[in-house]
Amino acid sequence: MFVKLHPREDVDKYNFLSIPTIPKEMDKFEVVQSAFFVLGIDSMLLLESSLLEVPTYSLSVNAGGKLSIGERLGWVKSFSQRERDLILTTNISHLNKDYLRHRDSLLTISSILQLS
């Protein structure tokens, strides 16, 4: 798992994370095409990843009660407020089934990479 920061974000702001960040100079489409899924808040990258047919999920907070454009078009899967809260608190027993499937795939691949 990696974190792709917004281009204006300072990487030093996230030094406390145990998750590596993707270098800004790395091509975002190359990153997305190698991903099993993309999870974000509300960005153009979510639309772009859905157009590249990568499973894409939004944790947007429905600003003003509206879904993001990707969610309205049905390109980006969204979570209910309850699901968002559960995901953010990582209560595994209640997570969305698609999220769990992708998470399990990621864990399997991570463990294989660590063994090699």
Question: Number of structural domains, the chain?
Answer: 1
Q: Are 45 and 29 in contact (CB under 8 A)?
A: no
Of the two residues 3 and 52, the one the predictor is more confident about is 52
User: Residue 35's pLDDT band (boundaries 50, 70, 90)?
Assistant: confident
Rounded-to-integer distance, Cα 83 and Cα 72, Å: 18
* Other Cβ atoms closer than 10 A to 70: 26
Domain of residue 45 covers: 11-115
Domain for residue 1, yes or no?
no
Domain for residue 101, yes or no?
yes
Domain for residue 88, yes or no?
yes
pLDDT tens string 59-85: 776 555 677 777 778 888 876 667 666
DSSP string across 80-96: -HHHHHHHHTT-GGGS-
Rounded to 5 degrees, φ, ψ at 27 are -65, 120
Q: Are 38 and 56 in contact (CB under 8 A)?
A: yes
Residue 91 has pLDDT above 50, yes or no: no
Domain for residue 105, yes or no?
yes
What average pLDDT does the structure give for the chain? Answer: 74
pLDDT score recorded for residue 116: 43
pLDDT score recorded for residue 52: 92
pTM equals 0.60
Domain for residue 5, yes or no?
no
State the burial class of residue 32 (Cβ atoms within 10 Å of its Cβ: 0-12, 13-18, 19+): buried
